Structure 1
């Protein structure tokens, strides 16, 4: 009887398997799972779900963007074998572009501002990209300007993630329909998301609003960099790229969210009147929520994922009983090791861990003492 229960329990929690063979890694992009958040974090009386984009092959939602932009360029005849692809990025898009270039056989150059985590530089270089680090004082607009300058000089292809319509179009054809399929026959009262380029917000937003107009869309942005809340527009070049830094921008720790300008893709979404509420998220609450997702749910996401969930929990706290809320978890925690997300996470044993170690006599490694093997 006990054996039967064990087998049944294992069957109940077995992970789904993608039972097919793939021709290449890019075919595994998308179809990411949606996971319910337990009441150890979510308030009782509502259902909170997260779409886990770290299930993409390079562990972020930006895998979708990179595949979309490069495939679109190929279809338009803008790329040929051996060409060089360039992008300006805080990291996740650069990692994704490097992956797609590695698989498709393009050279890759990434421009990234100095403050973003060094892990991301190493991952991109591991994928074969050249990483050009731009000065901190230049902010996001500086890395964008450097990418443009390099492309003008060398005739390289610039992805233009912040202006490229292929970005939201891919979310409209993949991410949005995935959500509608997963919630078919079920309530979906709120969709909560932050913005980097605005691609997820625009693409998913327009699909969800068309199919389920009663679903409220909540847009999040950093409290320290409330660009949309300011009401001030970004000045643009003829390409749609920003002319300069937005006056409402201030440095914030939510990497991947809100550069120092309003992206053209996001501005286009604003014109579509897609969001019902704008909610600010502070850096500390984003970090705290990412840590709680790990320690209470076993969900391993970065600061932007913590910020997204913090927004979803704010919505949940005031939503009517029975409400169903979905948010996005854009990436994984592992590319934040050198950021404030891990400042409170020690590498060495703390006092409690040392006491556990000393509770049995063998194999002790205690500070200031000789290692003990067999007692």
Structure 2
């Protein structure tokens, strides 16, 4: 039985890359998406979660029966909760209140305790960063994963995601585009890819409202942090794993652009991904428009759209948040209808 894996954790990584055609039609460049929702927990953060836990075990920071505590926008929490379930750890996940109900439900399903914090400044005592530190400090034997500053985050992408991208493109990659939440993905991949090909460009797609764009171009915060609907990327503080010196540029993407592309990706490419994936693609398209020579551009798609069904794929939520017009949901084909109504529509 050599083809049977020992646990679900062994399925993490080795995700596929697919070419994009319809949403990038007309471009002289070729676009490829690294599809990370093939990981068992549904996102790229499964890689980081397993790595952080296993390295903590090796160091003795996490002992049998211990408790894992983490501040997250959701995906790392799911990865940690999944691994904790397999390995027998308790798991407490702290998230800001804007995160989707699907993420909360997933965490509860894996057995994690979910703690919701208000949307406040990162240095506020009730921010999810600070609440996680306070909870971890009060539980004997607790391990704070600390994904924003834990170097194991970057190292895992250097060891796995970067090499996978290099191999899948046969080394013919010219540009890598992704978002930055903790910064682990872009920093780790950038380090590996630039070692293989020094002129490969690393571009960060940053939501309007995030401070990372300002820190990269101005070395200071020009505009105060703003609110935005995209989850999981962009920041109101500078994580230790965001290595600005290794990136080659930032592109700003607003919520409207991100959510429009989220819907286009599933309807035109069959890719049900989250708004952070769409943000990265919009950023990649904008970056490509500044380059004359045809390029091979890889875009990181971090997670699944199944975690945003109540938001990005909910017409009412989209209308209520100013991302869709009321008249755009009048078409019966885009909503659930009764059998009686369907028969009336098609009996013409």
TM-score relative to the length of structure 2? 0.87
Q: 1:229 to 1:176 in 2, by over 3 A?
A: same
Q: 2:154 maps to which residue?
A: 168
Q: 1:224 maps to which residue?
A: 209
1:139 is displaced (CA, Å) by 5.9
- The alignment partner of 1:366 has SS state of helix
Is 1:325–2:297 an aligned residue pair? yes
Which digits, 9 at most, give the CA deviation of each residue in 1:324-366, with x for residues without a partner?
Answer: 10110000001112224533679xx954549xx9xxxxx9423
Question: Matches of residues 1-375 of structure 1 in structure 2 within 5 Å?
Answer: 20-137=3-120, 142-155=127-140, 156-184=142-170, 187-230=172-215, 231=218, 248-266=224-242, 269-270=243-244, 273-343=245-315, 350-353=330-333, 364-366=339-341
Which digits, 9 at most, give the CA deviation of each residue in 1:263-314, with x for residues without a partner?
Answer: 1111xx12xx211121111111011111111111001100101101111111
Return the alpha-carbon distance in structure 1 between the equivalents of residues 227 and 123 of structure 2: 11
Q: Structure 1 unaligned runs (5+)?
A: 1-18, 235-245, 358-362
CA contact 2:22–2:269 (8 Å) conserved in 1: no
1:151 is displaced (CA, Å) by 1.0
CA contact 2:23–2:265 (8 Å) conserved in 1: no
CA contact 1:42–1:48 (8 Å) conserved in 2: no
CA contact 1:46–1:316 (8 Å) conserved in 2: yes
Return the alpha-carbon distance in structure 1 between the equivalents of residues 195 and 187 of structure 2: 12
CA contact 1:94–1:110 (8 Å) conserved in 2: yes
- The alignment partner of 1:224 has SS state of coil
Q: 1:172 to 1:311 in 2, by over 3 A?
A: same
TM-score relative to the length of structure 1? 0.81
CA contact 1:48–1:316 (8 Å) conserved in 2: no
Return the alpha-carbon distance in structure 2 between the equivalents of residues 341 and 275 of structure 1: 32
Q: 1:339 to 1:39 in 2, by over 3 A?
A: closer
Return the alpha-carbon distance in structure 2 between the equivalents of residues 262 and 52 of structure 1: 26
Which stretches of structure 1, 4 residues or longer, exceed 4 Å deviation after superposition? Answer: 138-141, 349-352
Return the alpha-carbon distance in structure 1 between the equivalents of residues 179 and 135 of structure 2: 30
- The alignment partner of 1:72 has SS state of helix
- The alignment partner of 1:225 has SS state of coil
1:81 is displaced (CA, Å) by 1.3
1:180 is displaced (CA, Å) by 1.1
Q: 1:190 to 1:42 in 2, by over 3 A?
A: farther
- The alignment partner of 1:119 has SS state of helix
- Aligned pairs, how many? 326
CA RMSD of aligned residues (A): 2.5
Q: Structure 2 unaligned runs (5+)?
A: 320-328
Q: Which 10-residue stretch deviates more, 219-228 or 296-305?
A: 219-228
